[in-house]
Amino acid sequence: MARQDDQRRDIVALPKAHLHLHFTGSMSLATLHQLARARHMELPDKLAGGAPLDLPYDQRGWNKFQRLYDVARAAVRGESALRTVVDRAAAEDAAEGSRRLELQVDPTSYASSVGGIEEALDIICDEARAASRRHGVQVGIIVAASRVRHPLDARTLARFAARRAGHGAGEVCAFGLNSNERDGHTPEWEVAFRIARRAGLPGVPHGGELLGPDHLEQVVRHLEPARIGHGVRAVEDPALLDSMVARGIAFEVCPASNVQLGVYREVDDVPLLTLLAHGATVALGADDPLLFRSRLADQYRAAREVHFLDDVRLAGLARDSIDASFASDEDKRRWKRDVDDWLAST
């Protein structure tokens, strides 16, 4: 494999948008330690160091992930902690070349420590606005309901999200659905997504990662996503994949997550090239760097090192990520010009 390494451009300097990052999962280990110390909370060894989910293929899985995520989330209590998480997510994304971060949160998880769901959401939006100014990355918020809560709660969340809708920093830009894809009955969230769409909030549910095309087809039919969280297993049904591409649904592809949750054995198996060959718009994302120990730029590095995308195609992925974001058209044009400049640089 003869490659001209010295002519490769700096991945970190490539302007990009980060569209799949969860609130607690966005933290670095240092931030988690800081918040845990403030609460006199002892972290389990598994979480406190190393890569806890970098396990042999047959030992990976969602439940291990969820247990660790729940422990980490217990450290995020109170206004100051919420603000710290947003500030650090913005700073760390900006340091990796991100121009636009769409940070996904279910404010219900943090409500009890700040007096309510809307209180939590307002703190997060306010800090997203301030952190955008401080760090030079535009941070939008995705309000995400959870499959482990009642679908009526999701409707309430959609209404809270609708009141804060907008394209700019500190505004809610989309509505999601997260947690284990195996939980709940997808059609029951249809109304919540309709409420969000009517308020101008596109749907960005998870789907097509842990479960295959049958489940993904339900997500597409009932929730009418503008983007799909993961969606990688659409490749198992090319007709479904083509129909999603034809509908303009973008794919938030998170290779490190797919591997560490046991969906694929190696990054090499993540069907990035198949998605691109079918004309899919792909935005690479880190999902939960706290647990996967792999941040945004690492996903682009994997596309270069493992899938052998050259700089022209990496720039294409970066443009895709910007196009798939919910930023204003003017901001998208500006950032895509920066991508052109990156490609023109030597």
Hey, which residues are catalytic here? 209
Indicate the residue among 19 and 302 with the shorter CB distance to Zn ion.
19
The first and second tokens of residue 44, run together, are 């389990």
Give yes or no for a contact between 290 and 26, defined as CB atoms under 8 angstroms apart: yes
Segment 182-221, which members bind Zn ion (CB under 5 A)? none
Shortest gap between Cβ of 295 and Zn ion (angstroms)? 14
What contacts 290, CB < 8 A, 6 or more positions away? 24, 25, 26, 27, 28, 29, 32, 72
Shortest gap between Cβ of 287 and Zn ion (angstroms)? 5
Site track for Zn ion across 254-273, x = CB under 5 A = --------------------
How far is it, in rounded angstroms, from Cα 141 to Cα 166?
Answer: 9
- Cα 204 to Cα 65, 110, 113, 341, distances in angstroms: 21, 21, 27, 30
Query: Is residue 106 a contact residue for Zn ion (CB under 5 A)?
Result: no
Query: Is residue 287 a contact residue for Zn ion (CB under 5 A)?
Result: yes
Indicate the residue among 79 and 287 with the shorter CB distance to Zn ion.
287
Query: Is residue 87 a contact residue for Zn ion (CB under 5 A)?
Result: no
The first and second tokens of residue 79, run together, are 């206004």
Shortest gap between Cβ of 136 and Zn ion (angstroms)? 25
Indicate the residue among 122 and 231 with the shorter CB distance to Zn ion.
231
Phi, psi of 258 (to 5 degrees): -55, -40
What contacts 19, CB < 8 A, 6 or more positions away? 102, 204, 227, 252, 283, 285, 321, 324, 325
Shortest gap between Cβ of 149 and Zn ion (angstroms)? 16
Name the one range near Zn ion by CB under 5 A: 11-19, 164-172, 196-204, 281-289.
281-289
Q: Compute the radius of gyration of the chain from its Cα atoms.
A: 19
Indicate the residue among 96 and 287 with the shorter CB distance to Zn ion.
287
Name the one range near Zn ion by CB under 5 A: 77-85, 92-100, 188-196, 287-295.
287-295
Indicate the residue among 89 and 315 with the shorter CB distance to Zn ion.
89
Shortest gap between Cβ of 308 and Zn ion (angstroms)? 26
How far is it, in rounded angstroms, from Cα 154 to Cα 203?
Answer: 12
Shortest gap between Cβ of 188 and Zn ion (angstroms)? 20
The first and second tokens of residue 139, run together, are 């941070």
Indicate the residue among 65 and 300 with the shorter CB distance to Zn ion.
65
Query: Which residue's Cβ has the minimum distance to Zn ion?
Result: 287
Put residue 206 in one of left, alpha, beta given phi > 0 → left and psi -120 to 50 → alpha. beta
How many residues touch Zn ion under the rule CB under 5 A: the total is 1
How far is it, in rounded angstroms, from Cα 244 to Cα 220?
Answer: 8
Name the one range near Zn ion by CB under 5 A: 92-100, 195-203, 220-228, 280-288.
280-288
Partners of 141 in the β-ladder: 103, 172
In the complex, the residues that contact Zn ion under the rule CB under 5 A are 287
